[in-house]
Amino acid sequence: MLLRNRSRHFFDRKKNEDWQTNTMNIGSKYKASSVNGAAIRRLLAVLLSVVMIALKNGSLLAHENTLFSYTRSLRSDDADEGALHKVSVSDQFTDSSRCRLTLNLIDAATKESLPGLVRITTSEGHIVPLEGLFNRGTGLRQQHPSRDWYVLLKSNTVSVPRSRLKIEAFSGLETKLAKKTIDLTDKISARTILPLVRFHRAATSGWRNGNTHLHLMSLTKDQADQYLKSISQADGLELVFVSYLRRAKAERNYISNTYTKQQLQQLSGHGVMFSHGEEHRHNFGSGGEGYGHVMFLNIEKLIRPVSIGPGIMSKGTDWPALSRGIDKANLDGATTIWCHNTFGFEDVPDWIAGILDAHNIFDGGSRGSYEDTFYRFMDIGLRVPFSTGTDWFIYDFSRVYVEVEEPLTVERWLDGLEKGRTFITNGPLLKFSVGEYNPGDVVRLARPCELNISSRAVGRCDFQKIEVIYNGRVVQSAPSQPVGGHFEAWITTPLWINEPGWIALRISSEQKNEMGAKLFGHTSAVYVEIAGKTIFNPEVAKKLIANMNEAMSTIREKANFADDKQADEILNVYREGITSLNKRLKQQ
Ligand SMILES: [Zn+2]
């Protein structure tokens, strides 16, 4: 009963062209604006005033539970135009107090150019704005730490003060931080190369990373193109899913909605693949908790309605349930991922019904816990692949690594994600096995026995500690150690496996990465069956039943339905979940 229904994989994943025709055609005004800078500035002024008005009445930011974190971390009313479009550096080059500095980042081993991020600081500790380079914090608030960093894709010349400067650079998650101090006093021009040393190469062992949740707003199409291509390359992202979403009125600024499937494919190159998705959602009120948000990746056609209910769309009723859209997406061969930790009511019945493929955490903020997002489902025997992304703008390095065979394709990567061959991270890179079993695998034992745990984490920033988790308990841990400019931790010890359940590796750290985000890292689980038995924790099941009963009370209180039939259809989603768990409880 709790087994996942995989029958939908009999359906062909072949996609048709409906995506293009279904995409809202609001891109024409952006295309026209790319013709000249004055038009861009005029358009930006209009867009920014719309953003400001929307910010004041609170409607624009109320995308989801991320309201709070979005206000703190992402684009807000102090985001300026300066970060959004190229500034001419010609004036600065004629200034006698400035130096023309040509910068290049190379792979220390191969000597080839390597895209990355660069930050230049004066001896007084001031960040030097690098006009002409794309700002890594584009779209984010002025004080966001990412605003100090600039994208350098290949050798480029910038204008800097004629003084002593510190230059720092890195590429993605797999190189050390390179640092160099140069003295440009009395220099008109200079040239410097920063070799970046790799301490890890996940791709060579078959681990490829992706961001499953991304939207952009209030940029022109050209800026959005530049944003997607340059930041993905500098961050070492390999797959980026840009998803369509709807909200009455505010959607006029959702530039990411204007991309067709073909346009996203055309943006691909330089080691980055772009694909598409849809965020299907329901809130009570504009941003309050409702049925929840779910991502459909690699969809054949838009699942309608894209957004449900008057909270988001200012019309209609709070019907249908998300499960109806999830079923349709599954029939079309899409990958279905629950978003935003445990935000929304329907994650519980939908996981119990086996209609979801993976679960995102920290996509749109750092709040939430592994316990309420993943562990409680795994504690009743469900297999829940770990996944993540960033939601509005790429405000962090959050990504999911998937073990996948060559050649890398979107379909193969999503297949690996659905099988739980994953780890999530915004810094440390993880490797974990139980005996010869890897994340996503099921270890079937006849009786309790000892198996070797093999864990390893490496990272540029200090992730402090790794922990092996067995059915929610820390059973082994090891501190990180500095190793020549990066950090590593290992555990290679036998573990006594005496109960069915799940085992995974995570880091535990209070440190932050260069984007100012607290470090996280967690593998999907290796599942354990002993004598044919899977884990089923009755106390957790009872809490999930209580959770579904509470959800039904809230829905009865808040929802607007056209008739009893609509109400019944929504409430039945929860009733079926409760019945299913009650049956399991009786079997105990
Ligand atoms: Zn979203």
pLDDT digits (tens, 9 = 90+) for 104-155: 999 999 999 999 999 999 999 999 999 999 999 999 999 999 999 999 999 9
Q: Which residue has the tokens 């996503």?
A: 440
Residues around ion ligand 1, judged by CB within 5 A, are: 279, 391
Tell me how far apart the alpha carbons of residues 316 and 321 are, in angstroms, rounded to a whole number. Answer: 13
Give yes or no for a contact between 374 and 359, defined as CB atoms under 8 angstroms apart.
yes
Tell me how far apart the alpha carbons of residues 431 and 490 are, in angstroms, rounded to a whole number. Answer: 9
Residue 435 CA to ligand 1 centre (angstroms): 38
Residue 65 has pLDDT above 90, yes or no: no
Tell me how far apart the alpha carbons of residues 341 and 439 are, in angstroms, rounded to a whole number. Answer: 20
Residue 33 CA to ligand 1 centre (angstroms): 26
Residue 273 CA to ligand 1 centre (angstroms): 19
DSSP 188-225: SEEEEEEEEPBS--GGGGTEEEEEEEEE--SS-HHHHH
Tell me how far apart the alpha carbons of residues 564 and 570 are, in angstroms, rounded to a whole number. Answer: 10
Residue 87 CA to ligand 1 centre (angstroms): 30
Q: What is the pLDDT of residue 56?
A: 36
Tell me how far apart the alpha carbons of residues 162 and 181 are, in angstroms, rounded to a whole number. Answer: 13
Tell me how far apart the alpha carbons of residues 55 and 356 are, in angstroms, rounded to a whole number. Answer: 34
Give yes or no for a contact between 197 and 178, defined as CB atoms under 8 angstroms apart.
yes
* Of 164, 160, 137, residue with least CA distance to 149: 137
Residue 207 CA to ligand 1 centre (angstroms): 25
Residue 378 CA to ligand 1 centre (angstroms): 25
pLDDT bracket for residue 92 (50, 70, 90) = low
Q: What is the pLDDT of residue 93?
A: 58
Cβ–Cβ contacts within 10 Å for residue 453, how many?
A: 22
The one-letter amino acid at 499: E
Residue 342 CA to ligand 1 centre (angstroms): 14
Quote the percentage of the chain above a pLDDT of 90: 82
* Of 327, 374, 406, residue with least CA distance to 524: 374
Residues 6+ apart with CB under 8 A from 583: 1
Residue 67 CA to ligand 1 centre (angstroms): 11
Residue 312 CA to ligand 1 centre (angstroms): 13
Cβ–Cβ contacts within 10 Å for residue 238, how many?
A: 22
Q: Which residue has the higher pLDDT, 146 or 65?
A: 146
Query: Mean pLDDT throughout 514-522?
Result: 97
Residue 512 CA to ligand 1 centre (angstroms): 23
Give yes or no for a contact between 144 and 89, defined as CB atoms under 8 angstroms apart.
no
Q: What is the pLDDT of residue 279?
A: 98
pLDDT bracket for residue 22 (50, 70, 90) = very low
The one-letter amino acid at 472: G
Residue 213 CA to ligand 1 centre (angstroms): 6
Give yes or no for a contact between 152 and 167, defined as CB atoms under 8 angstroms apart.
no
* Of 157, 178, 176, 160, residue with least CA distance to 168: 178
Q: Which residue has the higher pLDDT, 435 or 38?
A: 435
Cβ–Cβ contacts within 10 Å for residue 542, how many?
A: 13
Q: H or E element: which one contains 147?
A: none
Tell me how far apart the alpha carbons of residues 574 and 584 are, in angstroms, rounded to a whole number. Answer: 16
Choose the weakest-confidence range: 58-67, 253-262, 502-511. Answer: 58-67
Residue 75 CA to ligand 1 centre (angstroms): 14
Residue 54 CA to ligand 1 centre (angstroms): 18
CA distances 152 to 157, 242, 294, Å, are 10, 23, 34
Per-residue pLDDT reduced to its tens digit, 170-215 = 999 999 999 999 999 999 999 999 999 999 999 999 999 999 999 9
Cβ–Cβ contacts within 10 Å for residue 506, how many?
A: 26
Residue 214 CA to ligand 1 centre (angstroms): 6
* Of 309, 277, 308, 282, residue with least CA distance to 293: 282
DSSP state letter for 518: B
* Of 213, 193, 222, 215, residue with least CA distance to 113: 193
Residue 462 CA to ligand 1 centre (angstroms): 29
Per-residue pLDDT reduced to its tens digit, 440-464 = 999 999 999 999 999 999 999 999 9
Per-residue pLDDT reduced to its tens digit, 292-339 = 999 999 998 999 999 999 999 999 999 999 999 999 999 999 999 999
Residue 490 CA to ligand 1 centre (angstroms): 35
- Predicted model pTM: 0.87
DSSP state letter for 442: E
Residue 301 CA to ligand 1 centre (angstroms): 18
Give yes or no for a contact between 224 and 240, defined as CB atoms under 8 angstroms apart.
no
Tell me how far apart the alpha carbons of residues 551 and 545 are, in angstroms, rounded to a whole number. Answer: 10
DSSP state letter for 148: G
The one-letter amino acid at 551: A
Q: At 517, give phi and psi (nearest 5°).
A: -100, 140
pLDDT bracket for residue 588 (50, 70, 90) = confident
The b-or-e profile of 550-565 (16+ CB within 10 A means b, else e) is: ebbeebeeebebeeee
Residue 391 CA to ligand 1 centre (angstroms): 4
Q: Which residue has the tokens 């989801």?
A: 64
Residue 414 CA to ligand 1 centre (angstroms): 19
Give yes or no for a contact between 286 and 58, defined as CB atoms under 8 angstroms apart.
yes
Q: At 74, give phi and psi (nearest 5°).
A: -105, -170
Both tokens of 565, joined, read 């039939």
Choose the weakest-confidence range: 11-15, 101-105, 248-252, 542-546. Answer: 11-15
Partner residues linked to 156 by β-bridges: 103
Query: Mean pLDDT throughout 330-349?
Result: 97
Q: At 454, give phi and psi (nearest 5°).
A: -125, 115
Residue 59 CA to ligand 1 centre (angstroms): 15
Q: What is the pLDDT of residue 176?
A: 98
Tell me how far apart the alpha carbons of residues 272 and 144 are, in angstroms, rounded to a whole number. Answer: 25
Residue 135 CA to ligand 1 centre (angstroms): 22
Residue 488: strand, helix, or coil:
strand
Q: Where are the alpha helices (DSSP H) in 332-466?
A: 347-352, 370, 376-378, 410-418
The sheet carrying 156-161 orders its strands as 156-161, 98-107, 189-196
Residue 206 CA to ligand 1 centre (angstroms): 28
Q: H or E element: which one contains 311?
A: helix 310-313
Q: What is the pLDDT of residue 423?
A: 98
Residue 392 CA to ligand 1 centre (angstroms): 6
Burial of 111 (C-beta count, 10 Å sphere; 0-12/13-18/19+)? exposed
Partner residues linked to 87 by β-bridges: none
Residue 52: strand, helix, or coil:
helix
